[in-house]
Amino acid sequence: MSIDLIESILFATIIAGTPLIIVALGQLIAEKSGVLNLGAEGMMAMGAIAGFAVTFHTGNPWLGVLAGMVAGALMSLLFAIVVLTLMGNQVASGLALSIFGVGLSAFVGKPYESEILETVGTLPIPLLADLPIIGGPIFNQQPLVYLSWAILAGVAWFLYKSRPGLLLRAVGESPSSAHSIGYPVIRIRYMATLFGGAMAGIGGSFLSVFYTPLWVEGMVAGRGWIAIALVVFATWRPFRVMVGAYLFGGVMVAQLFVQGSGLEINIPSQFLSSLPYLATIIVLVIISRDQNTVRLNAPVSLGQPYRPDA
Amino acid sequence: MLRLEARAEPSQLMSYASPLLAIVLMLIGGLILFSALGKDPVEGFRIFFISPLSDIYGVSELFLKATPLMLVAIGLAVGFRANVWNIGAEGQYIMGGVAASAVALYFYESEGPHVLFLMVLAGSVGGMLWASVPAFLKTRFNTNEILVSLMLVYVAQLAVSWLVHGPMMDPDGFNFPQSRMFEESALLPMLVEGTRLNAAFLFALSALVVGYVFMYRSFFGFQMQVAGNAKDAARYAGFSAKRMVWIGLLSGGGMAGIAGMSEVAGPMGQITEHVSNNYGFAGIIVAFVARLNPVGIFFASLLMALLYLGGEQAQQYMNLPSSISNVFQGMLLMFLLGSDVFINYRLAWKRG
Amino acid sequence: MISILVELSAGVSSSEADRDESVQQKPDEPVSSAPIKKPVVGASGAGSKNEIRLELNGITKIYPSVIANQDVSLKVRRGEIHAVLGENGAGKSTLMKMIYGVTKPDAGEMKWQGETLQVENPAHARNLGIGMVFQHFSLFETLTVVENVALALPGNPDLKQLADQITEVSNKYGLPVDPQRLVHALSVGERQRVEIIRCLLQSPKLLIMDEPTSVLTPQAVRKLFDTLRQLADEGCSILYISHKLDEIQELCHVATVLRNGRVTGDCIPSEETPHSMASLMIGKDLPVCQHEAPAELGDVRLRLNGLTVESDDPFGTSLQNIDLEISSGEIFGIAGVSGNGQQELLYALSGEEPLKENEAIVICGKAAGKKMPDARRVLGMGFVPEERLGRGAVPQMSLAENVLLTAHAGGMLNKGMIQVKVMNQFAKRCIEKFNVKCGGENSAANSLSGGNLQKFIMGREILQTPKLLIAAQPTWGVDVGAAAFIRQELIDLRNEGTAILVISEELEELFEISDRIAVIANGKLSPSKNLADTNIDEIGVWMSGMWPGAENSEGQANA
């Protein structure tokens, strides 16, 4: 394998993993507060179409990302109202959001199906970008990759070094205790959920504006669900989310590995495409076996509705 | 200000009324949607909801589309009652269709009732096998069945894509990704001349009856309901949680598989990449809107089928993409989940 | 007045004058960056000895299904330990929630230090100087003690300094606790200390204690009382919620009695007799059980052979080598402070957590360790769990359907189909015989009061004529009338030859009905003693793990 091939595989891996990092971190914050939002796929889809459409009409990809973020947040707001204020079942509502979001995005996106956007170039960091092998993949990357690292650092600091983060963890651990002490549980959960939606929206818009600058129905292809699984795999710890996301990114670009290895095996493309999904299943099985770690890290109230006293 | 106040006990009335409320809200949402798209809302309403039912053929199409939805929904309802979340019905549907097609293609030259019989068997086994993966992983490793069954949907879609591009492709088909058209012996008998309504409809109705008896009258059904309502109580009573996971997932998988078979042995007559029209997911919505009740499933399936037909009409006459059906379906479900709050709570004016 | 002076580097320490003046301002958000106030416990500033701190007039709170409080009035003075006495369901907890701002009254007024006001929320209450120690603690298990305390304080306190403050307060009041430990690793008694210290750090003028002694050994109760008396001497007022007459007589200066949400009287406990206080509390004498000496013991119904269970819950207790024999015609009681293995023992006994070793549990002569609960019922076991809704009964299902949960072997199933008539009949019989107040056999389980549901569950098990009955916390949270009924039923059942095992955290209950008694501590079972040969104090000591023959290298049990 040539150096060039290694570099491009690394590059592709990091890019492929980036939307997963962003979406999963958003999920993580929401889940840490006790809210399980299975609507990630739908939120990402809406983020993708919003991002594409706005970029198409304004020519500015950054406005597109912003639009994606807003779209994701609005979708999560719908979910939050049903689940936090109207106390609906979190699992069912999340599924509903996914179905609705994917459907709505397909509907809204129909007119854009044959359009293409201009590719956005990478943003090299001076000096570091010239390092051998890793310079390109890490320091000469799409701007949103850098953003994903910033979000990661921010989330980690927030959760473990800040007072509001402590509060968030407390709410997820025991909303009734937090309520007894006087904290606004529902409001905190709203904010965490909206953050999750915003991140999902950014992740979705990354796909349609930067990754493959076009719009196709179903282009999110399960990444929202994989991001949810990623949070479980990382046992709700931010840095592990990054590790897992790049692992998945690698699996997603498996085709490059196969071509580069020079093997003459004729592996059907569908099989390679199915690897991320199979990998998700395997990863979930591995992590579920360790009940102890799950118990110590999973927010206790995850998925339970919180009913405040009259 | 207006607050939600807990009721002393759940309102029976609202249990029935909340799906109706959701439907009304969906209709209102639809009218707003049509207006927002620059179409006359009343005309849109007529084309979407009324015109599909304007003749016998239309009504038969309604029942035809409702059939796989009923099958999927009753199978899922058994599991949902026990909190076994089979979200991968779409994948099980596809694999059921694949298995049935394999039989049909294998027996391509044969005649006789055994072909159809084997196809039904293959369809249900195919769906059940696909559902047994999340069941096994859940009972053995405590892995979340929602994510596993969902991942398998994507795998199933890729599998059928590979099959119709390869092993199952019609050798005389000019390289189109589809199988041969099935012979007579591999197609379901018609119920009404001049329509596409086939025997699967009767099968679906009997599945509803069997489902009713199982869920409401049998001890097994009781055990599953307990498990869904209070899993510690099920444990206390000694009801086997593992058994319920298996039953819940296999019933969904088996029914979805038969639904898949009814599509390839019915209106489609072959297998292609588009074997599923999202029926697996629509079936989930039907189950919810029907409150997991077989009678409700009958009506909700008809409603959902109408939404599909309406989408097709809208595409033809209003120049709207057919995915508008999905928008309606999603709206319906979200409104339902929201209206459910009124079963346990009511609106009241509270001071400060 | 004695005050604690604790060093603080950050922030301005505001004087008590700020606290005592008008409290009409809107409460701060808990996460505001208000300067850390110097905690000055006990220094309650100026004010006469008999100044009224808290006054409630005509407080009323109505929920959809029940009137929790009706027209309640009381006065609490400075330095006074004021009991709020009433049985379960009398409305005590709801009243406290309103004082602490967790909920708001529908009518009536509250005066704090002479000013009429409404407590908006718990942060406001804390600002006013009201602290509350909850019955079911409001702590976060995966956080440390310091972090837990920090969450209850306004602003963003420095954790290191807070840890020092915690140590000072804990030493001063005899409440030892390690600030850096994770709460899930603490015993129940230690968690209560954290709750109390959390309140003390905000220099409360009023401390509300909600049923504090239900999780303590008798010795720990004595220590708690010393702490409370020390606080009262320093001028802090204490509202002490309880239904235990003897404790109130020992500790409290004044008592307000609640029954069915109303005040039935005020009294000075030291001047009352148990009889007079009981009349105020329930309108008649406390019922006493008929407990004659046991008849001849029959065959052994339950035998545990070296029962050992590794707990796979990181917060759980492992059972170690438990031996036990219970015969027909006796009631065996196991006492212990919560968290010493009772849960694990019950799961192992009922079959909800089957064992690998079949012989470790023998029911009526047959090895049963591996068997599931329904198989054990076939052998003759009945089981009443401590959780009623969600475990003993399915809340949303009717009483008739809940019968099916355990009694289905009694002719209610025919080829797997439910025989509705047989089921209904059983339910009706149960309701009648056990005096269950409800809307009939089709009423939902969650529409019954705690006491009535417990009677139903107990009745369901008893009507199956079990050879062995295991009951966990049989009268917890149950009103006095139903509690007496249940205890008598257990005694009657024993007289008819059933072997009964009762696991409870209430010593009085065990002493009322048991024939033999033992203690579980740290997952180990003490030797048993006939009731006549022991007393509450001795058992209290044993509850700390210190019985003759126990290896004390483990140290104290979770007390």
How much is the pLDDT for C237? 94
How far is residue B53 CA from its own chain's centroid?
21
Are C63 and C139 contained in the same domain?
Answer: yes
Which one of C374, C393, C418 has the shortest CB-CB distance to B233? C393
How much is the pLDDT for C27? 39
Rounded to whole angstroms, the Cα distance separating C232 from C76 reads 12
Q: Does the beta-carbon distance from A169 to C151 stay under 8 Å?
A: no
How much is the pLDDT for A260? 64
Which domains are seen in chain A, by residue range?
3-114+140-297 (1.10.3470)
Q: Does the beta-carbon distance from B330 to A96 stay under 8 Å?
A: yes
Residues of A with CB below 8 A from B338's CB? Answer: 81-82, 86, 88
pLDDT averages per 10-residue partition of chain A, 310 residues = 78 93 96 95 96 93 95 96 89 90 90 85 78 77 90 95 91 88 91 97 94 89 93 91 92 75 73 89 88 76 70
Rounded to whole angstroms, the Cα distance separating B293 from C178 reads 55
Q: Which of residues 471-490 of C touch A (CB under 8 A)?
A: none
List Cα–Cα distances, B149 to A221, A231, B81, B131, B252, in angstroms.
Answer: 15, 18, 17, 7, 11
Q: Does the beta-carbon distance from B229 to C401 stay under 8 Å?
A: no
Judged by a CB distance cut-off of 8 A, whether residue B215 touches chain C is no
Rounded to whole angstroms, the Cα distance separating C462 from C387 reads 17
CA distance B351 to chain C (A): 9
Burial of A186 (C-beta count, 10 Å sphere; 0-12/13-18/19+)? middle
Residues of A with CB below 8 A from C147's CB? Answer: 166
Which one of C97, C103, C152 has the shortest CB-CB distance to A181? C152
Instruction: Name beta bridge partners: C302.
Output: C326, C363
Per-residue pLDDT tens digits of chain C, which is 559 residues long:
323 333 222 323 333 333 333 333 333 333 334 344 434 444 444 445 678 889 999 999 988 777 889 999 999 999 999 999 888 778 888 899 899 988 889 999 999 998 999 998 888 898 899 999 987 778 898 889 999 999 888 878 888 899 999 999 988 888 888 999 988 888 888 888 899 999 998 889 999 998 888 778 888 888 899 999 999 999 999 999 988 888 888 999 999 999 888 998 889 988 888 788 888 888 777 777 777 776 778 899 999 999 999 887 777 889 999 999 999 999 999 999 888 899 999 999 999 988 988 999 999 999 999 999 999 999 999 999 999 998 999 998 999 999 999 998 888 888 889 999 999 999 999 999 998 988 888 988 988 888 899 999 999 999 999 999 999 999 888 888 888 899 999 999 999 999 999 999 888 889 989 999 999 998 999 999 998 899 888 898 888 888 887 764 344 444 4
CA distance A290 to chain C (A): 11
Q: Name the pLDDT band for B192 (thresholds 50, 70, 90).
A: confident
Q: Is residue C386 in a domain?
A: no
Helix, coil or strand: residue C334: strand
Subunits with 3+ C-beta pairs closer than 8 A to B: A, C
Are C200 and C100 contained in the same domain?
Answer: yes
Which one of A38, A103, A280 has the shortest CB-CB distance to B326? A103
Once rounded to an integer, what is the mean pLDDT over residues B176-193? 84
Q: Is residue C418 in a domain?
A: no
Q: Which residues contact A103 (CB under 8 A, 6 or more apart)?
A: B323, B325, B326, B327, B329, B330
Query: Token digits for C410?
Result: 């009694």
CA nearest B348 in C: which residue?
C64
Rounded to whole angstroms, the Cα distance separating B144 from B134 reads 8
CA trace torsion B297, B298, B303, B309 (10° rounding): 120
Residues of C with CB below 8 A from B6's CB? Answer: 63-64
Task: Choose the mutation target among C121, C140, C184 for the interface with A, i.e. most A CBs under 10 Å.
Answer: C140
Are C212 and C355 contained in the same domain?
Answer: no
CA nearest A170 in C: which residue?
C140
- Out of C227, C256, C282, a domain closes at C282
How many CA atoms lie less than 13 Å away from A5 in the CB half-sphere? 11
How far is residue C16 CA from its own chain's centroid?
35
- Full domain range(s) for residue C113: 50-282
CA distance B114 to chain A (A): 33
Q: Is residue C288 in a domain?
A: no
The distance between the two most distant Cα atoms of chain B, rounded to a whole number of Å, is 78
Residues of B with CB below 8 A from A82's CB? Answer: 334, 337-338
Judged by a CB distance cut-off of 8 A, whether residue C164 touches chain A is no
Which one of A170, A176, A179 has the shortest CB-CB distance to C143? A170
Q: Does the beta-carbon distance from B158 to A273 stay under 8 Å?
A: yes
Q: Token pair 């909800």 is at which residue?
A: C352
CA nearest C406 in B: which residue?
B237
Rounded to whole angstroms, the Cα distance separating C220 from C338 reads 13
Rounded to whole angstroms, the Cα distance separating C100 from C529 reads 44
Q: Which residues contact B214 (CB under 8 A, 6 or more apart)?
A: B78, B220, B221
pLDDT single digits (tens) C434-470:
989 888 889 889 888 888 999 999 999 999 999 999 9
- Asked if A69 contacts A201 with a C-beta cutoff of 8 angstroms, the reply is yes
pLDDT single digits (tens) B141-155:
989 899 999 999 999
Residue B254, φ and ψ in degrees, nearest 5? -60, -45
Number of domains in chain C: 2
Q: Does the beta-carbon distance from A163 to C143 stay under 8 Å?
A: no
Instruction: Name beta bridge partners: C347.
Output: none
Are C376 and C504 contained in the same domain?
Answer: yes
Which one of A78, A110, A281 has the shortest CB-CB distance to B334? A78
Q: How does strand C381-384 pair with strand C468-472?
A: parallel
Angle at C359 between CA C309 and CA B236, to 5 degrees: 60
CA distance B148 to chain A (A): 6
Domain boundaries, chain B: 67-320
Rounded to whole angstroms, the Cα distance separating B159 from B146 reads 20
List Cα–Cα distances, B265 to B69, B177, B179, B262, in angstroms.
Answer: 16, 18, 12, 5
Are C348 and C266 contained in the same domain?
Answer: no
Quote the crossing angle between the two packed helices B12-36 and B294-317, to the nearest 10°: 10
Residues of C with CB below 8 A from A164's CB? Answer: 31
Angle at C261 between CA C191 and CA C244, to 5 degrees: 45
Residues of A with CB below 8 A from B155's CB? Answer: 274, 277-278
Q: Does the beta-carbon distance from C30 to A174 stay under 8 Å?
A: no
List Cα–Cα distances, B207 to A135, A222, B204, C539, C559, in angstroms.
Answer: 62, 32, 5, 62, 58
Are C224 and C311 contained in the same domain?
Answer: no
Q: Does the beta-carbon distance from C140 to A174 stay under 8 Å?
A: yes
- Residue C327 carries which DSSP code? E
Rounded to whole angstroms, the Cα distance separating A57 from A187 reads 35
Q: Does the beta-carbon distance from A169 to C134 stay under 8 Å?
A: no
Q: Does the beta-carbon distance from A182 to C121 stay under 8 Å?
A: yes
Q: Which of residues 253-282 of A touch C (CB under 8 A)?
A: none
Average pLDDT, chain B: 89
Size of interface A-B (CB pairs under 8 A): 136
Q: Which residues contact C153 (CB under 8 A, 6 or more apart)?
A: C36, C162, C201, C202
Are C360 and C264 contained in the same domain?
Answer: no
Judged by a CB distance cut-off of 8 A, whether residue C313 touches chain A is yes
Q: Does the beta-carbon distance from C142 to A182 stay under 8 Å?
A: no
How much is the pLDDT for B110? 80
What is the predicted ipTM? Answer: 0.88
Residues of A with CB below 8 A from B2's CB? Answer: none
- Out of C229, C252, C282, a domain closes at C282
How much is the pLDDT for B351? 61
Amino acid A180 reads S
Are C205 and C348 contained in the same domain?
Answer: no
Q: Is residue C401 in a domain?
A: no
Residues of C with CB below 8 A from A167's CB? Answer: 31, 151
Are C269 and C218 contained in the same domain?
Answer: yes
Residues of C with CB below 8 A from B239's CB? Answer: 374
Element (H, E) at B338: helix B324-339
pLDDT single digits (tens) B84-132:
999 999 999 999 999 999 999 888 888 888 888 999 999 999 999 999 9
Q: Is residue C250 in a domain?
A: yes
User: What's the Rg (C-alpha) of chain C?
Assistant: 25
Per-residue DSSP letters for B70-94? HHHHHHHHHHHTTT----THHHHHH
Which one of B5, B220, B229 has the shortest CB-CB distance to C396? B229
Are C208 and C128 contained in the same domain?
Answer: yes
Are C276 and C305 contained in the same domain?
Answer: no
List Cα–Cα distances, B103 to B115, B175, B267, B280, C312, in angstroms.
Answer: 7, 21, 17, 22, 48
- Out of C253, C282, C311, a domain closes at C282
Q: Does the beta-carbon distance from A170 to C103 stay under 8 Å?
A: no
Query: Token digits for C503?
Result: 């696991």
Q: What is the CATH number of the domain that holds C328?
A: 3.40.50.300
List Cα–Cα distances, B260 to B96, B253, B299, in angstroms.
Answer: 5, 10, 21
Q: Which residues contact C83 (CB under 8 A, 6 or more apart)?
A: C240, C241, C242, C248, C251, C252, C254, C255, C256, C269
Output the pTM of the full model: 0.85
Question: How many residues in chain A?
Answer: 310
CA nearest B136 in A: which residue?
A285
